[in-house]
Amino acid sequence: MKGSRWFIALISASVLFSAFPSAECAFDPLDPNGNITIKWDITAWTGDGYVATVTMFNWQMYRHIEAPGWQLSWAWAKNEIIWSMLGAQTTMQGDCSMFHSNPLPHCCDRRPVVIDLLPLPPESMRIANCCKGGVLPSFGQDPENALAVFQVAVGGAGNTNTTVVLPENFTLSSSSSGPGYTCSPAMQVPKSQFLAPDGRRSTEAFMTWNVTCGYSQSLSMTPRTCCVSFSAFYSEKIVSCPECSCACKPTNPTEPVSSDDPDATAQKVCIDPRTRYDKLPSVISGGNSPPPPPSAPHLMYCTQDMCPVKIHWHVKTNYKEYWRVKVTITNRDFGANFSNWTLALKHPNFNNLTEAFSYKYKALNPYGAYSNDSAMFWGVTYFNDMLMEAGPNGNVQSDLLFRKGEDFTLRNGWTFPDRVYFNGDQCVLPLPQDFPTLPNGSPSLSARLSLLLVLVVSAISPFALL
Ligand SMILES: *[C@@H]1O[C@H](CO)[C@@H](O)[C@H](O)[C@H]1NC(C)=O
Ligand SMILES: *[C@@H]1O[C@H](CO)[C@@H](O)[C@H](O)[C@H]1NC(C)=O
Ligand SMILES: *[C@@H]1O[C@H](CO)[C@@H](O)[C@H](O)[C@H]1NC(C)=O
Ligand SMILES: *[C@@H]1O[C@H](CO)[C@@H](O)[C@H](O)[C@H]1NC(C)=O
Ligand SMILES: *[C@@H]1O[C@H](CO)[C@@H](O)[C@H](O)[C@H]1NC(C)=O
Ligand SMILES: *[C@@H]1O[C@H](CO)[C@@H](O)[C@H](O)[C@H]1NC(C)=O
Ligand SMILES: *[C@@H]1O[C@H](CO)[C@@H](O)[C@H](O)[C@H]1NC(C)=O
Ligand SMILES: *[C@@H]1O[C@H](CO)[C@@H](O)[C@H](O)[C@H]1NC(C)=O
């Protein structure tokens, strides 16, 4: 039965909700192996410690870390200090009053917090693959650049592999938004081998350990950031995002911020529900990581779903052998651009996607060839890889063309996606009973009607679809 897809989705959603009540790693069925690994390679011993190259690999297909970027922190197991760093820095020096050296150590905190350097620092502070202003691209979008590297010279650790004690309680967060990552304890792994560029000689690390961090979209506590609305050529009804998807509309929204912006005056302005992250640092980070830097509250359009980002899926055309969907992403936040945004979608017809216009596209086969029913999309560099802040340019659009299979039907909501993720955050979908329904008239009549509706709908600016 065609409708059973929804039933299964509902069941698995409720299982997920009950299985992850708190800020644990949420399992992402579209990216089951997605994680960020942090690898420490000791490459040299020093008088009182070691030099390590720390590499963060983002193995996640469609979840990147945006500017202002990642923050990595850990607790030293002994009384280690950081003499110096390349390619990154700690946010604070801490109390180095016990040291009479010149220069003083870079950081004496028991719990250093490391942030990236901005691009192109002086040559003397660089190391290969460093300094991206905290941005960590996703593996699906940019596999060659999905890493961040820094070097740290550690003192007070002893300089043999029996005196070195692995750091503990790693935390990784992205300071821009979201609840961040939950990290495993460090584990000693086989020593890394480094191949010389000509491939004719390899060297090895003295000691290597790994930490694995998984994204935790705390399902119960953190506000959602996106929702989905539907429409179809055969129905005049636009199914909006469910009410209160991300937050409920406040009863007394503030007045428009800027009266010289013609679009802003059209609607009331509300505070972005994501601002709430600032008030919940210890809940979100598991108690050990530093609170995120304070950020000014974002302002956004007031809507009944209060989501800063909306995805609209419009079933546009039904050809003989193909069918076409228009996907529009709208940013309703006045204070946020989304650079290198990603969209991940699950629909059974993704095994036969024929073309994605003006978005880049990659099939996701999370469980091998048997379930290639999901795909990720992102913008074309310098064209639409930046989803601009709310306003006339605050949207990106694409058409998807699918080849019909035997199970194609306009009935039972089959043409609508099962799951939608924006920047790796799961979006709230309309309930199946609200889907656009087929009119009772003959198919040919509805086909003719459809043409009219397509024209009408495309005449409405995406702005009006807010
Ligand atoms: C982390 O991701 C890599 C690459 O997808 C995978 O091989 C590895 O098993 C994952 N590790 C964990 C602990 O999930
Ligand atoms: C350690 O991390 C590196 C980099 O992600 C990965 O290639 C390697 O397989 C990991 N080792 C183990 C034992 O997980
Ligand atoms: C790591 O966290 C645990 C649990 O909170 C704590 O008992 C332990 O002392 C911490 N380790 C360090 C080195 O601070
Ligand atoms: C520790 O060092 C000793 C002597 O240098 C070496 O034989 C041994 O393999 C090292 N152990 C590890 C885990 O690297
Ligand atoms: C978004 O990007 C535009 C163009 O680069 C810039 O003018 C604007 O200040 C940015 N807005 C925010 C909130 O970063
Ligand atoms: C997106 O990422 C690519 C490479 O990772 C980068 O060259 C490009 O500037 C980024 N786009 C934006 C809008 O930040
Ligand atoms: C999906 O899987 C089928 C086999 O099950 C394969 O023939 C087809 O090429 C795959 N499609 C994509 C887009 O990977
Ligand atoms: C994919 O398209 C082929 C024809 O190219 C069709 O035979 C097959 O049934 C389609 N698969 C699905 C699942 O839609």
Query: For residue 317, what are the β-bridge partners?
Result: 324
* pLDDT confidence of residue 298: 72
Name the nearest CA neighbour of 60 among 345, 376, 418, 337. 376
> Domain end: 168, 196, 219, which one?
219
Q: What is the pLDDT of residues 227-248, one digit of tens each?
A: 999 999 999 889 999 999 988 8
Average pLDDT of span 220-231: 80
* pLDDT confidence of residue 204: 96
* pLDDT confidence of residue 269: 77
Q: How far apart are CA 88 and CA 106, in angstroms?
A: 11
Share of the chain above pLDDT 70, in %: 76
* pLDDT confidence of residue 392: 86
Kind and range of the H or E run holding 4: helix 4-19
CB-ligand 4 contact for 189 (6 Å cutoff): no
Task: Verify that 210 and 330 share a domain, yes or no.
Answer: no
Most confidently modeled range among 106-115, 291-300, 364-373, 453-462? 106-115
Q: How far apart are CA 59 and CA 143, in angstroms?
A: 8
Ligand 2 test: best mutation among 210, 211, 212, most atoms within 8 Å of CB? 210
Task: Verify that 442 and 299 share a domain, yes or no.
Answer: yes
Residue 5 within any structural domain of the chain = no
Please state, rounded to an integer, the average pLDDT across all residues of the chain.
81
Average pLDDT of span 356-384: 83
* pLDDT confidence of residue 212: 96
How many structural domains are present in the chain?
2
Q: What is the pLDDT of residues 371-402, one digit of tens each?
A: 678 999 999 998 999 999 988 889 999 999 99
* pLDDT confidence of residue 26: 60
Residue 202 within any structural domain of the chain = yes
User: Which residue pairs from 125-133 have beta carbons closer than 8 angstroms and sit at least 24 positions apart in sequence?
Assistant: 125/86, 125/87, 126/86, 126/87, 127/53, 127/86, 127/87, 127/151, 129/55, 129/87, 130/86, 130/87, 130/88, 131/87, 132/69, 133/67, 133/68, 133/69
Task: Verify that 313 and 205 share a domain, yes or no.
Answer: no
Residue 429 within any structural domain of the chain = yes
Nearest CA to ligand 6 atom 12: 339
How would residue 135 be classed by pLDDT, with cut points 50, 70 and 90?
very high
How would residue 368 be classed by pLDDT, with cut points 50, 70 and 90?
low
Report how far ligand 5's centroid is from the alpha carbon of 300 (Å).
15
* pLDDT confidence of residue 365: 75
Average pLDDT of span 160-175: 92
Peptide bond connecting 103 to the previous residue in cis, omega within 30 degrees of 0:
yes
Task: Verify that 274 and 400 share a domain, yes or no.
Answer: yes
Counted residue by residue, the chain has a size of 466
Q: Which domain holds residue 423?
A: 226-465
How would residue 25 be classed by pLDDT, with cut points 50, 70 and 90?
low
Task: Verify that 312 and 164 share a domain, yes or no.
Answer: no
Query: For residue 403, what are the β-bridge partners?
Result: 322
Q: How far apart are CA 201 and CA 100, in angstroms?
A: 42
Q: How far apart are CA 439 and CA 446, in angstroms?
A: 7
Ligand 8 test: best mutation among 5, 320, 352, 406, most atoms within 8 Å of CB? 352
User: Is there a contact between 55 and 149 (Cβ–Cβ < 8 Å)?
Assistant: yes
Q: Which atom of ligand 7 is nearest to 363's Cα? A: 13
Task: Verify that 428 and 446 share a domain, yes or no.
Answer: yes
> Domain end: 219, 250, 282, which one?
219
CB neighbour list of residue 365: distance below 8 Å, 6 or more residues apart? 371, 372, 374
Average pLDDT of span 94-106: 94
Residue 321 within any structural domain of the chain = yes
Task: Verify that 366 and 308 share a domain, yes or no.
Answer: yes
Q: What is the pLDDT of residues 410-434, one digit of tens each?
A: 988 999 999 999 998 889 999 988 8
CB atoms within 10 A of CB 193: 11
Ligand 6 test: best mutation among 129, 385, 396, most atoms within 8 Å of CB? 385
Predicted TM-score of the model (pTM): 0.82
Q: What is the pLDDT of residues 432-446, one digit of tens each?
A: 888 888 876 434 334
Pocket of ligand 8 (CB under 6 A): 349, 351-352, 403, 405-406
> Domain end: 202, 219, 236, which one?
219
* pLDDT confidence of residue 177: 52
Q: How far apart are the first and last CA of the chain?
A: 34
Q: How far apart are CA 174 and CA 157, in angstroms?
A: 29
The region of weakest confidence among 20-24, 316-320, 360-364 is 20-24
Report how far ligand 7's centroid is from the alpha carbon of 197 (Å).
36
Task: Verify that 383 and 433 share a domain, yes or no.
Answer: yes
Q: Backbone dihedral region of 131: left (phi > 0), alpha (psi from -120 to 50 degrees) or beta?
A: left
Indicate whether 22 pLDDT > 50.
no
What CATH code is carried by the domain that includes residue 363?
Answer: 2.60.40.290
Task: Verify that 386 and 453 share a domain, yes or no.
Answer: yes
Indicate whether 345 pLDDT > 60.
yes
Residue 9 within any structural domain of the chain = no
Report how far ligand 5's centroid is from the alpha carbon of 340 (Å).
14
The region of weakest confidence among 30-39, 199-208, 294-303 is 294-303
Name the nearest CA neighbour of 322 among 400, 399, 402, 398. 402
Q: Which atom of ligand 2 is nearest to 37's Cα? A: 5
Kind and range of the H or E run holding 449: helix 443-459
Indicate whether 162 pLDDT > 80.
yes
Task: Verify that 210 and 266 share a domain, yes or no.
Answer: no
Pocket of ligand 2 (CB under 6 A): 37, 39, 57, 189, 210
User: Is there a contact between 232 and 315 (Cβ–Cβ < 8 Å)?
Assistant: yes
Residue 16 within any structural domain of the chain = no
